[in-house]
Structure 1
Amino acid sequence: MRLVRSRHDTRSAILGYLWCSGGSFRPDLAAGVALTEASISRIISDLKAEGVIEETRRAAPYRGGPSLFITLSNAISVAAIEISNNRLYAAIGTLAGETLYAERYDLPDGIGAAAVTATVTRAVCELGSWAAPRGIVLEQLAVSIPGYDPDLRASPIVPLDVAALADALQRELPETPARLTNSMVARAVAHRLQMGTGVLGGSYFFVFVGHGVGAAIVDELAESGDVETCEIGHVVIDRGGRCCRCGHGGCLEPYVSTVALADILQVQESDLIGRGDRWPDDYDISPAARAEIKARLGLLGLAIGNALNLTRQRNVVIAGWPGALPAEDRAVVMEAIGASRLGGLQGIALTFSTASLGREPVSGLALAAFSFIRRSGARRAQQQQLISN
């Protein structure tokens, strides 16, 4: 069956493929978006003229092969506000993935709404003040907020007043398109970029275990942009259990987050996060601590198995601190999934990804770049022209 796309969709598909692959020769790009070189040549010319992509010469991949290599442009700038690990990160980067500016602001536990709003306002102001004198035009801003729900004025995880944030953005960056979303969307988008252009047999259930614990259903993200989030970290597993930062008792998160892991290891969470995938080798883990970690992984598996009872997803990807453990320890997760999922483990495929800890604001910038791509790479000047016409 012949694939029919609008010009907008074709532009997005081309940019999405380049984003995931890191660049491509024209024949590979055409094959990747399931179109002929002739059918995409005009769009490639337009994107080059608009400064969205660049084409440089490289050694041909084979004798007589192409030598022009296409990448996303380093001249396009996007920005991010990412809240993670009790911190707020403000950053500017290029569409091609280079970070130009990054600042970190502390958001300690227990901080009030007024203080959060003041910090966010300061971060937005300083971000805009850094870009303006350098002549940097921000084509897209992404704001990643833990527990964000567009139907709620403030997140139950971080007391950020969304209306106050919108006012700050309008005042400091009035012409920059902004996307506010749940932090798990940003994590899922960044993971999809990390995967490259490969696909795990279609959609998958993505779980991130860090300072926060969340999940998302990723469905052909590079094409559709659809990400359905799931607050798996706030599934109550023990009604009389540990107090969670969301205000409930007995949520999964206080048992399996990096806060909980640091407590088991008797180390500082910031030090743990800074070690990324090296943490199991860097710490002397006692037999008692290893047994407790495996017990916590069992709780994670039970929660995932129950989540799979509510969705038809069969591919599961876990990113965060569990991915650094040896296979025999991680096997507990799969056993627990089978113990809680109706039908057991039949058809379930489980993959562990890299920790991706301490890499903020990579996820926020990835979401900003992806949001720009999803609007087909239309520059701000083009959008304003369309509005005025």
Structure 2
Amino acid sequence: MSLWQLFKAIPRGIAMLIVGIGAFLSAQWKQYTPFGQMLWVLALFAIAVDSGIAYEFGSTLSSLHAIGFGLVALAFCILPDVAAMEFRKGQKATAGWIGVACIPLGMVALLTHVGYSASIRVGDMQQSSVSNVKYEDTRAAVSDAEGKIKFFSDRIAALKDANPWITTVSADGLKAQAPALEEAIAQESRRGGCGPKCLGLKKELADVMERAGKAEELSKHESMLLAAQTGLDKARATAKATNYVSSTAVNHTDTLYKAVSLVGGQFVSSVTTDEREATNTGIMGASSIAFLLLAPMFYLCAGLNRRPGVLDEWIYGAKEEASYPYESFAETAGRSGAHLPTEAGSLPGVHSSVSITDERGISQLRKDMASHADRALALLQPRTSGAFA
């Protein structure tokens, strides 16, 4: 086959695949009663959800894990119905082995559900916790900057109140007066010791240096105030860009714990970390079990609502049509019965056929045949009388 022929065969193969899938789904659909069809559709949706959850969890490990976990979920959804059918067929050993195989499959499927729930709920809690820590840090930075601004503003106000002159001078200007005063003091000392004038100059120098120190302190506080104001602006900008994250999982868990506590007669205003984690574990376990059982139960209940005779055809094969007119005793005696000719002269001899169409067995068939003995004799009597006439 050439490459072109192979290429042209691809659409045909896809079409055959689609037709095959459609035929399979149609055959599956027809075997159920209307109520069973509804359950089967719900089962398909539940299977899709189950397999999707298993696949998503497995994809966090590897692509092979994703495929494997998806197949495990699919098998656990379908095999209980297969086991039930085998049991109804009388293959109890096969049904038992399939049921036993469902145990590890169910355990693995449960682990995937718990893992997926943990990745969603615990992950949401952790992410919201980290985000809110950053949010609280930005709030704290704003508060810290505001505290610094208040501190330096108070110090500046106190300096200005105690020293009204401080706004009219500068520390550098005052310090510039110190060399001249020191020289004057030195000259007075050389003239005959440090007399009253020299002492006055020293006092003036000390006063200048004190005022220079206060002016320098004011300048430093004003610089720190400006830096704090800049820090506050940055902290507010960061806080504005950082939002508080409300975690759905945290709110759900805390509300459930408070509700359970309230039912128990105790109102809880706040939930501790340990209480939250314990409650969240219970939620994940319960939801995982519910998800785990949903699809198999839908599929199994759909299997219990198959149309009459479907399972019998699987057990005994399709019922062969008789080549002569007959009247079924099953019309009046149930699904099991004996079929005998209705026309006395249609065949040279007595022709009868017996079919078992459900699992009630030979004993039930014998009871049905005995209950119709009179009718069978009535049908056979004209034929027998004609033969001896």
TM-score band (shorter)? under 0.3
Q: Whose RCO is larger (CA < 8 A, sep 6+)? A: 2
- Which structure is higher in strand share? 1
